Amino acid sequence: MRISLVMSLIVLAMAVPSAWSQDGLTSQARAVPDEVAYTHLFLTLANNDGEQPAALERRRAAYIKHIGLTPDEGKQLLTAVEEFQRQETERTARASLLLGTRGGSAQVRGDLRMQLEGLRQDRNRSVVSLMNSLLVLIGPDAADRVRAYVNDKVKPNIRFGPRISE
């Protein structure tokens, strides 16, 4: 899981100046796609390698309370997080295999980029699906609290760095 966390946080590199808009979101926050913000939320709540179970539970409980969810709503959120983590572990294993085949011709590198892009798109589809399922399961009021947390607390803290090229 640590590899995917590092890969996911690569986008959090460089601060981008922004101005507040009428809806209270900065242009930077509005520019952050929901799947990126929810990926960040899911990774924040995921079980990190080496974390003690008691510390994990305290950390998760603090986030659930901060979001404003009930214990039952929090359980639904954590179920989505655990499913995301399971899928992300599989994607990370596939990415590691692909990255182990570096080198070769421009065609091979192009195929590698396409396969890695496919994994990124798979992650985005998975996050959108989990997010939509979660928001239906927890009900409209809790869904509004999660959306507000993501818009007010998660998105404004995501910074995109320059695109990495060959």
Q: Secondary structure of 3-45 in the HEC alphabet?
A: HHHHHHHHHHCCCCCCCECCCCCEHHHHHCCHHHHHHHHHHHH
Tokens, residue 107: 């065609």
With contact defined as beta carbons under 8 Å apart, do 41 and 154 qualify?
yes
Measured on CA atoms in the order 82, 124, 51, 159, is the torsion positive or negative?
negative
pLDDT > 50? residue 27: yes
Residue type, 9: L
How many CA atoms, within 13 angstroms, populate the side-chain half-sphere of residue 50?
1
pLDDT at residue number 107: 63
Mean pLDDT across 147-158: 93
d(CA 107, CA 34): 33
pLDDT at residue number 159: 82
Structure-model confidence comparison of residues 66 and 94, the more confident one: 66
Q: What is the mean pLDDT of the chain?
A: 80
In this prediction the pTM is 0.74
**Residue-level length of the chain:** 166
With contact defined as beta carbons under 8 Å apart, do 148 and 29 qualify?
no
pLDDT at residue number 5: 41
- Least confident residue range of 5-9, 13-17, 112-116, 156-160: 13-17
Tokens, residue 16: 């981008």
**What is the phi/psi pair of residue 24, to 5°?**
90, -10
